[in-house]
A and B are shown apart, each in its own frame.
Chain A
Amino acid sequence: MHSRLGIDTGGTFTDFVHLGPHGLVVHKQRSTPDDPARAILEGIRHLTGDDAPLDVVHGSTVATNAVLERTGAKVALVATRGFEDVLKIGRQTRPELYNVFVEPRPPLVEAELTFGVDERLDASGAILQNVNEDDVNQIARLIHVRGATMVAVCLLHSYANPAHEQQVAAILRKSGLSVCTSSEVLPEYREFERWSTTVVNAYVTPLMDRYLAKLEQALRTPGPPASRLSIMQSNGGCISASAARAQAVRTVLSGPAAGVVGASSVAHAAGFPRVISFDMGGTSTDVSLIDDEIGTTTDSKIGDFPVRLPVIDIHTVGAGGGSIAYLDTGGALRVGPRSAGASPGPVCYGVGNELTVTDANLLLGRLDPDYFLGGRMAIDGERTQRVAEALANDVGLSVPELAEGIIRVANANMERAIRVVSVERGHDPRDFALLAFGGAGGMHACEIAEQLQISTVIVPRHAGVLSAFGMLVADVTKDYSASVLKPSTSLTMKDLEAACAPLVETARTELEMEGFPPGRQVITRSLDVRYIGQSFEITLPLEADYREAFDQQHGKTYGYSNSARPTEVVNVRVSAAGVTDKPSLPAIKRVRRATKATPTAVRPGRLGGKNVRISFFRWDDLTSGASGLGPAVIAGGEATVVVSPGWRFTVDGHGNVVGTR
């Protein structure tokens, strides 16, 4: 049998979660940013030797970083003549309202590589003007001369009729150029968003292609011949490396997506199908809502650029454990978005001089100084105390008041993020458990849960490598869509099924090619529906009573609905999954009856606004069924859990800490 391996390449560490003959094994390796594959291969060798065939699922920030750091390919754009500037103009807004020094945002395509071609379709897809092939031949020549790696072909109304884009692409390909068209990347209306997605794809595809080719090659050399490489996508599923190499834009937000997949898997296994996942790292926090199923959205951005493909609905705020606290000119205490990051890091790491959220946790006695990150990192409490005293003086507070304040301000930011994914989407956070992970998530979970009146928190056993774990359990998924833009009254179920049919067929063929027989394919069809005249759609399953379902959902999300108002179907969507073998989460040592856990130490600290004596536990020592009462701290090698007064914690059968109040 193949063993499975999830690999998450991050900025500092490359995480591995391996499920093989010896069960689940976790490994961390320093990343090698100059050549990410090196760390991957070293890690594989460390974990598996060369013995067993491997299914590797990989997620990386290669594509993300290429966009954020502007190191992607040289891209040419071929657009409908007269509309070459659409990407430069965007939606004609400035990003900051009151900043007259707002920075320009250079487009991904250089001016000299932007070309217009004579052609035109109308909104129904009918041809108004044929493609001028002489134009295209001339453009092909110039692109060769000016040297672009990839061409994005973006024509108006191609969602309604891709013929012109295909015609242009064929000519360019014949001349030896690599091409992607907006109708194959995202066949949906609104030119700026569709073209932007297409250009981002062209920008990252060559780079990912090279990276993955190299990785596949490398995996083949030392490993067994049957090694297979899949790549994590932003929608939470994976695809074969060869598919990822063709449309890399689908992988740009894969890291956080894998974390949510891991969170969902852990949550279900622990018996909590409805959770808000809360991934708090050093510089930022990712929040997402899982209502039995993971929520997706098509309204996302990478850097400044909209990418309208289905991605897991994640809201990110610029506050994490490393966020810096400071006093602004009006005398308010602010936390973040500036972060001390990994270097210089929080004051307690011994280099930085600016107080961070992690320092505040230390000052309040919520970290185990003898066992920080499992004892791998020594922390300097005196140094932190000194820096804190200076700032506390400026604010006119005591050090504990200041530290509590920093935590509260950081938590207020987090709370706002959670409201965005819950309340703004029509969900009451009280109906959910809070699943906290990332290095700092467990330290804030109870307090944030209290603010939102959530009564259960879960901190997974593998809180530090949940993204890699998510890759291990991800299905192969593919999304397809097509524009419809017709009133519901003019569409029968047959019409809608017919609109989906070609997408379903493509989905089945592609899954087959990825090695999934029909019995392991799950195909779901859905519709984007809105009241005629609106611009935002609600996605619903394709069912005969979708109209009623729409009113219901609209009422739930926005507070009103009107069954007399006509609706229209904007897009049909098909989502196809190839179901992989799921590893079952390993159980930890079990004792027959719930036992009271024994603390390793009891120290003074502050929790819940009071001076309290905090019981310290080592996570690794706790057996399944062990329980205790807050105030408590559970210190593990990957994460720390702070249990507030009034909370009871229990270690479940998988080693997760579950807190209730």
Chain B
Amino acid sequence: MKTSPIEFEVFKNLFLSIAEEMGVTLCRTGFSPNIKERLDYSCAVYDAEGNTIAQGDHMPVHLGAMPLSVRAAIDAVRMEPGDIVMLNDPFRGGTHLPDITLVSPVFLGRKKTPTFYAANRAHHSDVGGMSPGSMPVAREIYQEGLIIPPVRLVRRGVIVDDILALLLNNVRTPDEREGDLAAQIAANRVAETRLHDVVSRYGRVKTMKYAAALQDYTERVVRHAIAGVPDGDYSFEDALDDDGFSDTPVPIRVKISIRNDQAVVDFTGSAPQVTGSVNANYAITLSACLYAFRCLVQDDVLYNAGVGRPIQVIAPEGSIVNALKPSAVAGGNVETSQRITDVVLGALGTSQPERWPAASQGTMNNVTLGGTDPRTGRRFAYYETMGGGMGGRKGMAGLSGVHVHMSNTRNTPVEAIEHYLPVRVRRYGLRQGSGGRGRASGGEGLVREYEVLTETSVTLLTDRRRLAPYGVLGGLPGGVGCNTLIRDGWEQQLPGKVEMTLKPGDRLRVETPGGGGYGEP
């Protein structure tokens, strides 16, 4: 059946607006600052095989991983109408344990199997494990929190109380979790209703046809963009500072082979998986590659499964870019994903330097705080990530104080932090001089200084504290980040990855990296 370029735009709008409406619902009804203030979530619609039809412009690091979660849910659970499957297992399409995904089937008419799926993934600020906030410096995944395989959270429209109770009894902030899960359920319900509307208006056959055509279309656009990169093999290497347990850098190596309109991205030669939590599972590595190639296309095409078709990703099992159970992975999603992006973009940059920026901050600067609020006697677990410098681009300095590449979460307002947590923010600003100098300079990093008002456990999961974001074409590297403890007037530099307990009055200063410079200064 032939598709029309017109129906096409109509369906593109329809599917995208469904993903966007899911996001609006999740944000407006969410409870934890991480969802409602920082928008740390993604929403998307899938076809019967679990291929993405449309994903909202939410979190790039979820791009490649979400469909693997949907696939895992399909494989593990025989879904019935009204069911919602929940999972967070990083080795079955998850990213890291705090990211909980809900998958809903959409049944049409009397069909026995779902025609579509809707899914959303949100970062919960605690899922148990050895430290508040569930982003610990851990040695194995069992320390990181509760592992949820694909299970029904909702069965035929009714919440499965046993499962919910099991989950809520294993986390530090059960009220907040329950509220956030309600918001996630509501988001999926929105998608179910809307998909039914679309099908009743256009018919099942036509809707499915265009769901497929939208993927083909994105594939064509991406192939067209890859064909614009000269054929050849492009290699690049960079490294994570360390894994939090030793001082040894963790190298990531890539060779990208471009042949006509196809690309092979091969990570052979990257470090083996490590003791600490910076291991990336395959889903994350895939996300980083898909993001990089999506950036090749400058039109506002829909992000969907079509992006991945021209791209083959080779990630050796047991390596830092395809770690196996039971390795710890909390930081793979947030830190290693950024470094993978750095090497992929670095390699593409060797073919066409004018099209790519120098390295951006290359970390998300994860800060997790937990303890008991003396004002209420209740436990709190708070998580946030911080922006930094973007790399300089041809003719344009990098942006300052923004999230780069795999993340785009917002900050939490200072006034909100101080209202909800026993924490005072002493300083929040740009870190002057941290951007690498160049013909176009890298953007500046951020500095945030927290003073805790009660005994507080803190976990820092940060990188680019030793190895700076690279500059290109003679541009200087960006300034490395720095974590500092200020206690009784003394300053002490902290490692990039650390867990510790702060006393009331202690201050923690997090300075984030600047972007690399572009071209000789």
Q: Which residues of A contact B (CB under 8 A)?
A: 82-86, 88-89, 91-94, 97-104, 122-123, 156-157, 159, 189-192, 327-335, 395, 397, 404-405, 408-409, 412-413, 415-416, 419, 423-424, 485, 531, 533-536, 554, 557-560, 562, 565
A536 to B35, CA, bound (A): 11
User: In residues 261-307 of chain B, which contact A (Cβ within 8 Å)?
Assistant: 291, 294-295, 297-299, 301, 303
Interface string of B386-429 (1 = CB under 8 A from A): 11001001001101111110001111011110110000101111
Return chain A residues, CB-CB under 8 Å to B9.
Answer: 332-335, 408-409, 412
Contact of A157 among B12, B27, B37, B415 (CB under 8 A): B415
Q: Which residue of A is nearest B228, CB measured?
A: A329
Q: Which residue of A lies closest to B388 (CB)?
A: A92
B182 close to A (CB within 8 Å): yes
Q: Does B31 contact A (CB under 8 A)?
A: yes
Q: What are 12 A-B interface contacts by the 8 Å CB criterion? A: A88-B400, A92-B410, A191-B414, A192-B413, A330-B218, A330-B220, A409-B6, A412-B9, A415-B13, A534-B179, A535-B416, A558-B25
The answer to whether B413 and A409 touch across the interface, beta carbons within 8 angstroms, is no
Residues in B whose Cβ lies below 8 Å from that of A533: 31-32, 175-176, 179
Smallest CB–CB gap between A337 and chain B, Å?
A: 10
- Give the CA-CA distance A157 to B417 in the complex, in Å: 12
Q: Is B136 an interface residue (CB 8 A)?
A: no
> Contact at A92–B429, with CB atoms within 8 Å?
no
Task: Please give the distance in Å from B44's CB to the nearest CB on chain A.
Answer: 14
Q: Decide: A94 and B418 in contact? CB cutoff 8 A.
A: no
- Closest B residue to A81 by beta carbon equals B427
Residues of A within 8 A of B28 (CB): 534, 536, 557-558
Kindly state the separation between the CA atoms of A398 and B521 in the bound complex, as whole angstroms. 55
Which residue of B has the minimal Cβ distance to A406? B6
Q: Which of A86, A123, A327 has the most CB of B within 10 A?
A: A123
Residues of B contacting A157 in the complex (Cβ-Cβ under 8 angstroms)? 415, 418
Asked whether B413 lies within 8 Å of A85 as measured between CB atoms, the reply is: no
Q: Give which listed residue, A85, A94, A559, A562, contacts B404 with CB less than 8 A.
A: A94
Number of interface residues of B (CB under 8 A): 80
- Min CB distance B22 to A, Å, is 11
* Smallest Cβ-Cβ distance to A328: which chain B residue: B299
Contact of A332 with B295 in the complex, beta carbons under 8 Å: no
Q: Is the CB of B356 within 8 A of A408?
A: no
> Which 4 A-B pairs give the minimum distances between C-beta atoms?
A405-B6, A535-B36, A533-B31, A92-B387
Chain B, 162-180, CB within 8 A of any chain A CB: 175-176, 179
CB distance from A3 to the nearest CB of B (A): 45
**Which residues of chain A are within 8 angstroms of B179 by Cβ–Cβ distance?**
531, 533-534, 565
Within the complex, the shortest CB–CB distance from A160 to chain B, in Å, comes to 9
Measured between alpha carbons, how far is A557 from B24 in the docked complex, in Å? 11
Q: A104-B397, A395-B5, A404-B6 are in contact. Are A91 and B411 (CB under 8 A)?
A: yes
A153 nearest CB across to chain B (Å): 16
Beta-carbon contact of A156 and B414 below 8 Å:
yes
B332 within 8 A of A: no
Verify A83–B190 contact, CB threshold 8 A.
no
- Tell whether, in the assembled complex, residue B24 and residue A424 are in contact, meaning their CB atoms are under 8 Å apart: yes
Does B21 sit at the interface, judged by CB under 8 A? yes
Q: Which residues of A contact B467 (CB under 8 A)?
A: none
- Interface check B465, CB cutoff 8 A: no
Q: Are B410 and A89 in contact (CB under 8 A)?
A: no
The closest CB in chain B to the CB of A190 belongs to: B413
Contacts A97-B408, A100-B295, A330-B221 known; A92 to B31 CB distance under 8 Å? no
Question: In the complex, A86 Cα to B357 Cα: how many Å?
Answer: 25
- Report yes or no: A416 in contact with B399, Cβ–Cβ below 8 A: no
Beta-carbon contact of A189 and B36 below 8 Å = no
Q: How far is the CA of A409 from the CA of B297 in the complex (A)?
A: 22
Which residues of B in the span 1-40 have a Cβ within 8 Å of any Cβ on A?
A: 4-10, 12-14, 17, 21, 24-25, 27-33, 36-37
Residues from chain B with a CB closer than 8 A to the CB of A86 are 414, 428-429
Nearest-CB distance from B250 to chain A (Å)?
25
B42 to chain A, nearest CB (A): 11
Are A189 and B416 interface neighbours, CB within 8 A? yes
B186 in contact with A560 (CB, 8 Å): yes
Collect the chain B residues with CB atoms within 8 Å of residue A85's CB: 401, 428-430
